[in-house]
A and B are shown apart, each in its own frame.
Chain A
Amino acid sequence: MSRAIYRSLLWLHPAAFRDRFAAEMLWLYDETVGSEGAAALLADGFASLVRQWLTRRLTWKVAAAVIGGMLEVGLVLALSRGGYSDRARAANRVSETATSIDSDGLATDRTALPSGVANSRMETNAANPQAAPARGLPVSALPVGDAPLGFAVLFGIVFVYACRRRGFQLGVRSTSPARRRLRRDQIREMPRVEAESRLSIIAD
């Protein structure tokens, strides 16, 4: 049972690490489970899994950069439009009107209100004058319009496409199995070639 869990942990590791070390790690697990105990080895395997995905991989950094870029672009565009969109301004007016209705209990300016959520909210407040007055902006009045969001999504798509063109995997298998195998072999050979070249320099 614990061996199956350990195998699952190994399977969850990044493909490059798994292909290179998983068989040997499983062999070591078989050799040491009697002396070390399954719990310690499982904890070690889980720690390795976290380290591999969080510190050794580029994926989460690229994802964080994409999300951060989208938020930044959206925020800048929203602020450049004067803080609030037209819809937000309308909702703000509605909020103020609803507050004045709360104070006297009568809906005197009903025709000036737009339809939808704001209307039903006003009716609720008018029917129950003891209710606490609404404060702040409703959810529909958040200062992010449609255009910045669209631009941010477009920016994210272009960024992800550029990353994939540059060879980052982003956790999605984008190439054929033959090309993946070739790339893996190239990566596997890289440290050895580099080390041998350094050793030859040292020997010279």
Chain B
Amino acid sequence: MNAETSLPLSRATLYILLALAGEDRHGYGIMQEVARQSGGQYKLGPGTLYDNLQKLADQGVVAETSSRSATDDPRRRYYRLTGLGRKVLAAEVARLEAVVREARRHLPMAKPERAI
């Protein structure tokens, strides 16, 4: 799979990859991180999460990892971003940056107010 061929990513996929970019996480950790990153505006359900995780694992973008502590619930599985996953995420971020750049050029945007 080529990193560019999978673009653009769906919203769920983008947030899952972003959540895994920092560290390995289990399913519940991914859900919490997605809610935090989106400021609570986007909440992943378990069905959407694992449906996407299965697809991403099949594509080799994420992988299951064996790192877990002794106190962890045995049902918890940790997931990590693979090298291919990092490339896909980087390509998507570059695409989004180009979109934002283009939007700024054509749309009159209010300048953000400075904090006093």
Q: Are A191 and B57 in touch, CB under 8 angstroms?
A: yes
Q: Which of B49-94 contact A (CB under 8 A)?
A: 49-51, 53-55, 57-60, 63-64, 73, 75-77, 82-84
- Total interface residues on B, CB under 8 Å, equals 28
- Which of the listed residues B28, B46, B49 has the most CB atoms from chain A within 10 Å of its own CB? B46
A49 to B50, CA, bound (A): 11
Q: Are A40 and B82 in touch, CB under 8 angstroms?
A: no
Consensus secondary structure, chain B interface: helix
Q: Which of A71-124 contact B (CB under 8 A)?
A: none
Min CB gap B61→A, angstroms: 8
Asked if A52 CB lies within 8 Å of chain B CBs, one says: yes
Asked if A192 CB lies within 8 Å of chain B CBs, one says: yes
Q: Are B43 and A27 in touch, CB under 8 angstroms?
A: no
Q: Are B48 and A23 in touch, CB under 8 angstroms?
A: no
> Quick one: CB contact mask for A162-204 with B, threshold 8 Å, 1 for yes?
0000000000000000000000000000111011101100110
**Cβ contacts under 8 Å, A198 to chain B:** 60, 82-84
Q: Which residue of B is nearest A40, CB measured?
A: B45
**Cβ contacts under 8 Å, B77 to chain A:** 24
Cβ-defined partner of B46 (8 Å) among A28, A52, A191 = A28
Q: Which residue of A is nearest B45, CB measured?
A: A44
Asked if B47 CB lies within 8 Å of chain A CBs, one says: yes
Q: Are B47 and A49 in touch, CB under 8 angstroms?
A: yes
**Cβ contacts under 8 Å, B54 to chain A:** 17, 20-21, 56
> Which of A29-37, A59-67, A144-152 faces chain B?
A29-37
Q: Are B51 and A48 in touch, CB under 8 angstroms?
A: yes
Q: Could you list 11 further interchain pairs (A-B, Cβ under 8 angstroms) beyond the known A28-B31, A45-B45?
A: A23-B75, A44-B46, A45-B46, A48-B51, A49-B47, A52-B51, A191-B57, A191-B58, A194-B60, A196-B63, A203-B83
Min CB gap B95→A, angstroms: 21
A46 to B55, CA, bound (A): 18
**Cβ contacts under 8 Å, B75 to chain A:** 23-24, 27
**Cβ contacts under 8 Å, B26 to chain A:** 24
